[in-house]
Amino acid sequence: MRPAPRRLWLALLVLTLPLILPASVGAFPLTTCTLTLTSTDANGKTIATATGGADDATETNPFLVDWDGTVTWRGTSGATAVKNNSWHVDVFMVPTPLRGGDANDKSNKVGTGTTSVRANAPFQFSGLYYVSGEFRGDGAACVGSGWLKLTGNPVSTIPFWIAVVLGLLGLLLLALGLRGSWGWAVLGGIFTGLGLAAVLAMLAVLPIGPWTPLSALGLFVLVGLAVAVFAPKPPGPAF
């Protein structure tokens, strides 16, 4: 019985097909609400702006952010005050801890604020990132997405080298898997995929746009599973 390997190769094909498709370079989409962003450097000088619906924050023209600077935002919910609302932010379609909500008892339709980039990131994750989010509540919902680039040389940052080490460790575990250690093979696929996904984002090498990191992870998870299934197993004890 060999249906499992067949399913593995089918899943591998599905993950590989996007590699021959053009990457998305659409504008900064935003439904229902309005949003304007402004980023500044450490000296308070404006380095980028982005407005929902405009040709801003695209993959080829990302919203630039300085790790030592700030981001100021102004958003409106149109004619409707969104009460009992909740919001969340995803990066490359992966949920993040950035989420919250508010009863909005005062029926506010406009929100503004300024946040420090450094205060919200323990390390400098220089690179290009696809960010999406949703703001939903009684009476309305807003959905938006865009590309953000944290300026700086990623090779000089700690996260970059952590990702490199993780990827190399994953390759080592895959090699152990080829010798019959299926558990190490699966773990090696996960580590290699995570390391590669992070390095690609930090180097801004995203051939299939926002799907690149997840595809890299999924591809190497399948490689790990394939190694676990097809690698020769050590002989059992002789009786």
Same domain, 89 and 193: no
Residue 30: pLDDT band with limits 50, 70, 90: low
> Is residue 11 domain-resident?
yes
Same domain, 81 and 148: yes
Of 114, 130, 152, the residue that ends a domain is 152
Query: Pairing relation of β-strands 63-65 and 140-150?
Result: parallel
Same domain, 63 and 101: yes
Of 118, 152, 186, the residue that ends a domain is 152
Same domain, 69 and 170: no
Same domain, 42 and 144: yes
Provide the domain count of the chain.
2
Whether the CB-CB separation of 148 and 129 falls below 8 Å is answered with yes
If DSSP codes are grouped into helix, strand and coil, which group holds residue 5? helix
Same domain, 148 and 38: yes
What CATH number is associated with residue 42? 2.60.40
pLDDT of 29:
54
Q: Count how many Cα atoms sit within 13 Å of the Cα of residue 179 in the half-sphere of its side chain.
A: 6
Of 111, 126, 152, the residue that ends a domain is 152
Q: What is the DSSP string of 56-86?
A: -S-SSS-EEE-TTSEEEEEEE-TTS--EEEE
Task: Give kind and range of the element (H or E) at residue 9.
Answer: helix 3-16
Task: State the amino acid at position 153 in one-letter form.
Answer: N
What is the rounded distance in angstroms from the CA atom of residue 16 to the CA atom of residue 155? 28
Residues of the domain holding 182: 3-22+155-230
Same domain, 86 and 135: yes
pLDDT of 21:
37
What is the rounded distance in angstroms from the CA atom of residue 123 to the CA atom of residue 67? 9
pLDDT of 35:
84
Same domain, 18 and 83: no
Q: Minimal CA–CA distance to 205: which of 154, 131, 162?
A: 154
> Is residue 235 domain-resident?
no
Same domain, 147 and 39: yes
155-178 residue pLDDT tens: 999 999 999 999 999 999 999 999
186-210 residue pLDDT tens: 999 999 999 999 999 999 999 999 9
